[in-house]
Amino acid sequence: MGDIGEFYGGITGKSKQDFNDGNAKFITYKNVYLNPATDINVKDKVKIKAEENQRKLMYGDILFTGSSETPDECGMSSVITAKFTEDIYLNSFCFFLRLNDSELLLPDFSKHLFRSDALRVKIGKTASGVTRFNVSKELMKKIQIPIPPLKVQEHIVSKLDVFDALVNDISKGLPKEIELRQKQYEYYREKLLGFKL
C-alpha cells in the first residue's frame, strides 16, 4: 500500500470544548467502523480555525480505525465513495490512505476490497498491544493488494453492490426474499396439492 499512496492521521490538537459548537464536519470512529462506504451526511462537528493545518478528506480516501480492544477489529476500513463540496475531516482515532493516482482504484471497489476477509487478516496482523491494540502504519505500507484493471473493478462492483443491497438494505432485500419465498410456496403448493381427480 505504501507504493500507491500516503497515510495521513486525523485531526490533531483538539480538546473536548472543540467538539461542542464546531464549525466543520468530521467523520467519527464509529462511522468508519460501521460503514464500508463512509456516511458523509453527518452532524458531528469540530472547531477548525482558518489558520489550522488540518488535512481535509477527499473523494476516494480510504479511512481506517487506528485501534481497538482486539486486533481483529483494528484497521476497519471505510471509503469516501460520494463526492462532496464542504470540508470534512477525520477524527484523531483514525487515519487514511490517499492514493497517489486517484484513477488506480475505484472508490466503490475499494469499499469491498478493504473489507474482504483476506485483506482483513493482513491488516489485523499489523496491530500490536496488550489491552488496546494499535495498527502500525509502517506495517500497513508493506501489505500487498490486488489492483485489477478498471473494467474488472467495475464488473466486481456491479455484482457485489447487488448482493450487498439484497443482504443489507431491508427495503430491497426483504421484498426480494418475500418474492422468492412466495414462488417457493406456490411451487410446493402445486406439487403437494396437484392430485389427479
DSSP letters for 105-152: S-HHHHHHHTTSHHHHHHHHTTEEESSSEEE-HHHHTT-------HHH
The predicted structure's pLDDT at residue 187: 81
Per-residue pLDDT reduced to its tens digit, 37-91: 999 999 999 999 989 999 999 999 999 999 998 888 899 999 999 999 999 999 9
Residue ranges of domains in the chain, CATH in brackets: 5-145 (3.90.220.20), 148-197 (no CATH)
pLDDT number for residue 161: 87
- Here the cell at position 168 is 443489507
Query: Residue 97: beta bridge partners?
Result: 7, 62
Chain mean pLDDT for the chain: 90
Look up the pTM and report it: 0.85
- Do 67 and 134 form a contact (C-beta atoms < 8 A)? yes
Residue 195 has pLDDT above 60, yes or no: no
CA dist 21 and 34 (Å) reads 25
183 vs 197: which has the higher pLDDT: 183
Higher pLDDT, 81 or 190: 81
Mean predicted confidence (pLDDT) in 87-114: 96
3-class secondary-structure state, position 42: coil
Rounded distance between C-alpha atoms, residue 24 and residue 88, angstroms: 7
- Residues with Cβ within 8 Å of residue 46, at least 6 apart in sequence: 11, 14, 18, 19, 22, 23, 24, 26, 89
Element (DSSP H or E) covering residue 53: none
pLDDT recorded at residue 192: 62
